[in-house]
Structure 1
């Protein structure tokens, strides 16, 4: 495949898409553009891109243009690039978490005379950011949504799937509105709930100083996504406003129902409510990546003595297994503590488990 691909925005997603294309098609020329010159230099040095674009004018020579920038910035860049002399058959896509406004703007700006636009959303991510965290396997087994809105964009979507074959993602075609409705439920609204729970705890902290100490365990884990980029979530919520407003209304009804059950002390209904939630949750796919990045945690029972962390990380380093996060959950003198290690993938977690149990002889376990 002798093609030129311009990627605008060289963060985790843009960098990982570049690497997956290069891995599958070494002959494809990957051109990178980013407003941060240091990011561009790092991308070139790491071999993520073949060359740097000095300006967006580089889009005129591209066969594919991929916007890997925040939604608001993507809309701005789309308008700027649409004024250039693009190749007639150039295929343009994005990676944004909302699709309604992007798809509508793409359809308006890019016609048969200056390319065709196909909305895209790779449902994968990491707890690390930036081009230095980019990796070709980031999207493996993840869902990659494409939102063609016409016959021309449907044909372009099929070509995109060929270009992005190296992602090893599962491609799904959706209507832009359907995409925003689904991601609103399984990604956008959960982030709102997590942030709300944290804010509630923060308010309680003012009168109950023990709050933050007691929240250091399970509460901190179930609200992890509240640590996401606030600027990104501001833009996502505003772009998916209509769907979220519907969800707020539904959620209020759901909470009113729960409140009524508690007020009436209806034990049977409360039990059924939690049972049905458990059954649905337990039936969700375990290994497939979804809209929210999964946490691949491995828990290790370790004795409380100096050097235990360096011992464990040393064994993992020997096997070249990368850790994304490490935390001591509990350590007290003369008893075993729990070390939680987080990894980028299920494969890394399984390798780490074998390594630790074989070399360190410590018991490990998962908490799904």
Structure 2
């Protein structure tokens, strides 16, 4: 296999949502002679994928799509990935086929895939660390994974040529591949993704309980609190499965968190100003040193904050300017915490480039103050 030469063959993608659809588009762009076959339990998604040209063919059953595939990618929720692997284990697949997944947990999935390896097939766990605020194949983009980390979890006996072949197939993602052990993967993603989702959900539950006796909670939470807990709006079914798959890591992190909160509580009881100052200072320093333009496990929110006067039509005015410059936005809302003449319009974008263009656009057409909030 020559590096840089487009590959031919059949690629079977199971799960035609945002991730599966985006992987299909990346492979089509890099390997135009490859044939992409798609399958999804939701037949509406399957039809939509074919209509949008995300896949070349659709498979009505797993068996027909997998039979002659050179590459099989499973892009379903983590519990479904296990089910799909079980099905594949009972099929006669093409010799030399490479199988991978896109799940955000790895230990249990790699264990489940032992049956594939026992039959002589190559399985490499995968996790493209990118996402979007939108879902479904209609939101698929060939640039979704660009510059994102793509974690691979090969076994020690994985054929190096097969691993390189997988990277070649996925070259069109323009992602940065990192190889880690499955257990290391689950701990890392537990710390920077799974645990924060649980914390966000717990903060929302705490606010909900408080709102029963403090009516102002809901109104005040419409500002920064809503922003820092926005990941709690992710799919409940998906996070139920991820939490169960990575329960051992999460349980350890819960213990660590309780110890961390106990340290803070002791500082407060002792009214230790210096310790509290150092605590917040170290947190600020570490957070400020984090790469701003990197893509991580949690999809970035590229927000632009615009101070706008409170008069009818101001939102359509701003969106009109953005439309004029062909700048796409993903969400728009008004922060309700301020009651002065000016309010804060929060506009979310898919990429940092879109946000930068939008900021320049608004400054060009108006005199409204803007900021990124970083």
1:21 to 15, 22, 27: 27
Contact kept in structure 2, 1:122 and 1:143, CA below 8 Å: yes
Instruction: Quote the residue 2:135 is aligned against.
Output: 129
Deviation (angstroms), 1:318: 2.3
Deviation (angstroms), 1:334: 8.0
Instruction: Quote the residue 2:198 is aligned against.
Output: 192
Deviation (angstroms), 1:238: 0.4
- 1:313 aligns to 2:319 (yes or no): yes
Consecutive unaligned residues in structure 2, runs of 5 or more: 1-6
Distance in 1 separating the partners of 2:93 and 2:278: 58
2:125 to 108, 116, 119: 119
Contact kept in structure 2, 1:300 and 1:339, CA below 8 Å: yes
Give the direction of change, closer, same or farther, for the CA distance of 1:333–1:236 in structure 2 (3 Å limit). closer
SS of the equivalent of 1:326 reads strand
Deviation (angstroms), 1:355: 1.8
Instruction: Quote the residue 1:54 is aligned against.
Output: 60
1:162 to 154, 162, 168: 168
Deviation (angstroms), 1:330: 4.5
1:76-87 aligned at under 5 Å gives the runs 76-87=83-94
In the superposition, the TM-score normalised over structure 2's length comes to: 0.95
- 1:272 aligns to 2:281 (yes or no): no
Deviation (angstroms), 1:337: 2.2
Contact kept in structure 2, 1:13 and 1:125, CA below 8 Å: yes
1:180-219 aligned at under 5 Å gives the runs 180-219=186-225
Q: What are the superposed Cα offsets for residues 291-341 of structure 1, whole Å, 9 maximum, x if unpaired?
A: 001000011222222211112112212222211110112598883322110
Instruction: Quote the residue 2:78 is aligned against.
Output: 71
Figure out how many residues of one structure are paired with residues of the other and give that number: 367
Q: What are the superposed Cα offsets for residues 194-214 of structure 1, whole Å, 9 maximum, x if unpaired?
A: 111110111111111111111
1:1-368 aligned at under 5 Å gives the runs 1-57=7-63, 58-106=65-113, 108-111=114-117, 113-330=119-336, 335-368=341-374
Relative to structure 2, which stretch is displaced further, 189-198 or 294-303?
294-303
Give the direction of change, closer, same or farther, for the CA distance of 1:257–1:328 in structure 2 (3 Å limit). same
Contact kept in structure 1, 2:223 and 2:336, CA below 8 Å: no
Give the direction of change, closer, same or farther, for the CA distance of 1:299–1:114 in structure 2 (3 Å limit). same
Contact kept in structure 2, 1:118 and 1:153, CA below 8 Å: no
Distance in 2 separating the partners of 1:303 and 1:209: 27
Contact kept in structure 2, 1:298 and 1:366, CA below 8 Å: yes
Deviation (angstroms), 1:271: 0.7
Q: What are the superposed Cα offsets for residues 219-250 of structure 1, whole Å, 9 maximum, x if unpaired?
A: 11111111111110100010001111111111
Consecutive unaligned residues in structure 1, runs of 5 or more: none
Distance in 1 separating the partners of 2:221 and 2:159: 48
Contact kept in structure 2, 1:14 and 1:68, CA below 8 Å: yes
Distance in 2 separating the partners of 1:91 and 1:198: 42
Contact kept in structure 1, 2:219 and 2:337, CA below 8 Å: no
Give the direction of change, closer, same or farther, for the CA distance of 1:333–1:179 in structure 2 (3 Å limit). closer
Contact kept in structure 1, 2:16 and 2:49, CA below 8 Å: yes
In the superposition, the TM-score normalised over structure 1's length comes to: 0.97
Contact kept in structure 2, 1:43 and 1:49, CA below 8 Å: yes
Distance in 2 separating the partners of 1:331 and 1:359: 26
Contact kept in structure 2, 1:21 and 1:163, CA below 8 Å: yes
